[in-house]
Amino acid sequence: MPRKFLKRIMPDHKTMCEHPHLQKFGQRLTEPKLWHLNRRSVAGGLALGLFIGFMPILGQMFVAAALAILLRVNLPVSVMAVWISNPITIAPLYFFVYKVGAWILQIPVEKHDFSLTWEWLSSEFITIWQPFLLGSLICGLIAALLGVLGTRLVWRLVVIRNWLKRKKKNTTK
């Protein structure tokens, strides 16, 4: 991951710390590790955000931000990665998660008519919660692992490419 590209798209940490809503966190947001762009911090933030993005919880961005502060990984990357589950992708994502959980538990995937009512939650959700939560956990862990490995690999390849370019440029002079 080129550091210049990430610096261009990420917010400035001083501006973020001065934001009125974020001043509640006080000195915790000024921790340099939360904003530092290195391979380990970005990979950790991406893994955290992807894992939380697969979890069926409310306030995923706040949970990812709190855990990024606690684990001292890149805060903006972890919050942005949570958006893997957004209003457009959440239905197919959660259906896939349910299918993965049902496959692991060897439960047949049943067709459920979804309606956002208390009756549906009390009758239908009781039959799908185990494969759904297991699938969320497994898919979240796999996405986090792939995020870490992919980030570290791409980062390393970009660094090697830049190093070889500099070496070639210095030898031609």
Among residues 64, 32, 55, which one has the least CA distance to residue 143? 55
Q: What is the pLDDT of residues 75-113, one digit of tens each?
A: 889 999 999 998 898 888 988 999 999 999 998 887 767
How far apart (Å, rounded) are the C-alpha atoms in residues 173 and 170? 6
In the predicted model, is pLDDT for residue 2 greater than 60? no
What pLDDT does 1 receive? Answer: 47
What pLDDT does 67 receive? Answer: 92
The boundaries of the domain holding residue 16 are 3-172
| Alpha carbon 129 to its chain's center | 23
Please, are residues 133 and 54 in contact by the beta-carbon 8 Å criterion?
Answer: no
Domain total of the chain:
1
Q: What is the pLDDT of residues 18-29, one digit of tens each?
A: 666 666 666 666
Residue 125 φ/ψ, nearest 5 degrees: -65, -25
Calculate the average pLDDT of the chain: 83
What is the band of 50 on the pLDDT scale with cuts at 50, 70, 90?
Answer: very high
